Amino acid sequence: MAEAFVIPLWADLLAVGIGALQGALFAAQFRDRRLDWLGVAIIGIVVGFGGGLLRDLLLDVPLAPLQTNWYVVVATGAALLGMLLERVFSRLGRLITALDALTIGLFGAIGTTKALALGIPEVAAVFVGVLAAVGGSILRDMLLTLPIALMHVGSLYAVAAAAGSGAIAVLLSLGVPVLVAATIGVVVTFAVRVASVLFGWSLPEQRSIGRL
């Protein structure tokens, strides 16, 4: 059984803050909907640590983001900062896409290794890792009553998380130390995500085989 890959609290909170800030920037597209400050904070919370809550619910363990005050505080603060300084941050689109790619890589690595450490088998652990990485974005779209972006043709997001989480599961089963495996997983997720945005990669649309 593998060890879990853990990162220092400050690094996890930084990732949560980046997610929450990005959630607020996303919400800013919907000015006509009259979201209030609480709505923005809720979006920040679900994008920031919604994936972590889903991960721990699936694993039937105490929910890590509720064991300290920091997650709620950081996610709320980052979301409101993102809302107020939206004009500044929206100029940094590329930087934020890159940071977000790093964030889903980290959340995926933490989720996958935590699941494996609890005895969840490989494929199911990758499923947990992917949901830890992108679950916040699913909840965001559900709360905004939008089509779930990652289910539709577009740049690779959940696939990037799956590639990284899958790499980790394979490497750990080959006996690679968890820190090395997790680092490679984060790099794989980051690379697939960024390449997909740069080169316009996407999955094919649903289709049936024509002649049957």
Binding site for a second copy (CB under 8 A): 27-28, 31, 33-40, 42-43, 45, 53, 56-63, 65-69, 71-73, 83-88, 115, 120-124, 126-128, 138, 142-143, 145-148, 150-154, 158-159, 202-210, 212
Q: How far is the CB of 92 from a second copy (least distance, A)?
A: 12
Report the candidate in 164, 210, 158, 152 with the shortest Cα–Cα distance to residue 188. Answer: 164
Q: How far is the CB of 140 from a second copy (least distance, A)?
A: 11
Choice between 8 and 207, CB closer to a second copy: 207
26-64 b/e (C-beta count within 10 Å ≥ 16 → b): bbbeeeeeebeeebbbbbbbbbbbbbbbbbbebbeeeeb
Q: How far is the CB of 175 from a second copy (least distance, A)?
A: 20
Choice between 18 and 115, CB closer to a second copy: 115
Choice between 32 and 175, CB closer to a second copy: 32
Rg (CA), the chain: 17
Enter the tokens of residue 49: 């640590």
- The CA distances from residue 71 to 20, 114, 120, 167, 189, in Å, are 10, 19, 26, 28, 24
Residue entry with tokens 């972006």: 149
Choice between 38 and 174, CB closer to a second copy: 38
Q: How far is the CB of 101 from a second copy (least distance, A)?
A: 17
* Phi, psi (rounded to 5 degrees) for 38: -65, -40
What is the spatial distance between Cα 48 and Cα 137, in angstroms, rounded to a whole number? 9
What is the spatial distance between Cα 61 and Cα 82, in angstroms, rounded to a whole number? 31
Q: How far is the CB of 109 from a second copy (least distance, A)?
A: 18
Choice between 79 and 182, CB closer to a second copy: 79
Q: How far is the CB of 19 from a second copy (least distance, A)?
A: 16
Choice between 147 and 175, CB closer to a second copy: 147
